[in-house]
Structure 1
Amino acid sequence: MADFVTCDLLDDNEDKVIYVLPPIIDGQAWRQYGGVSTFGGQAVTVKCFEDNSRVKELLATDGTGKILVVDGGASMRCALMGDMIAKSAVENGWVGVIISGCVRDVDEIAKMTLGVLALASIPKKSVRKGVGETGLPISIGGVTICDGDFVYVDNNGVIVSKEKLV
């Protein structure tokens, strides 16, 4: 479990924190879904719209110390992660997942040792077509997050830094 408060991290590192994610994206407020509410690590980025193929692929790889940050276009039409993919993330050591979009199977995800921040939940799964891009700068709520940035999350919000802060 992470030992930090984003407010204090920001206050102590104002020169290093490059962005604070807005609390509302396209009319939706961020919501914690995982069993861990405070988490931080190095970002792995993916951009996909209503297709979780790349999310599933990435979370099946070693994610030690990493957070998957997903630009799902804030779509409210289908989930980009459910319990089976979240379980794979836990098994592969991922610290957390941030999804600008939806998740499903939220009661099961809440039992997992995984930080999960998303905009909403919906029972409908995505259709896998193998579409999506990884490792590129993504934009969520006007904030650019690059592959390799450091991301810190707690109940106060999300901060992004080029440098490791904790």
Structure 2
Amino acid sequence: MSRESHAPANPYSGAPAPANPYSGAPAPANPYSGAPAPGFDTYQAAGYPPGAPGYPPGGYGYGYPPAPRTNSLALASLILSLVGVASCITAPIGAILGHIAQKQIRETGESGEGFAKAGIIVGWIITAFMVLAILFYVVIIVWAILGTTAAATSAP
């Protein structure tokens, strides 16, 4: 018995031998590679003659509309009200500017309503603290004057 008779049968015996990759012959095109076949124009639409005029390429669209401008009085109102924390003089000016800015914003449609409202709130709160502090100092001074005068008159 020879060894050849025990070898399994080759199911591909009728198929041609695979091509030698080093032979220099071009390999067949892979239909799944995504590359176009030779002579196929990827930019040409099917059913239209080559070079047919078309629409120009699409642009980037209109984009976003510009943001509305911020009212400058509203910004000045907030800044003066915040500076009023240190100076106490600019706080009522900032509050008044905030009211004017709100009127302008309603008429023109500008942005900055939050700045104006914050300027009004901070400005009037700082103004109220300033008025309370002035009243406190006046009361202390009057009390000191009256206390000194009363002590001087009751002395034996």
Q: What range is the shorter-chain TM-score in?
A: under 0.3
**Higher relative contact order at CA 8 Å, sep ≥6: structure 1 or structure 2?**
1
Bigger radius of gyration among the two:
2
TM-score normalized by the length of structure 2: 0.21
TM-score normalized by the length of structure 1: 0.20
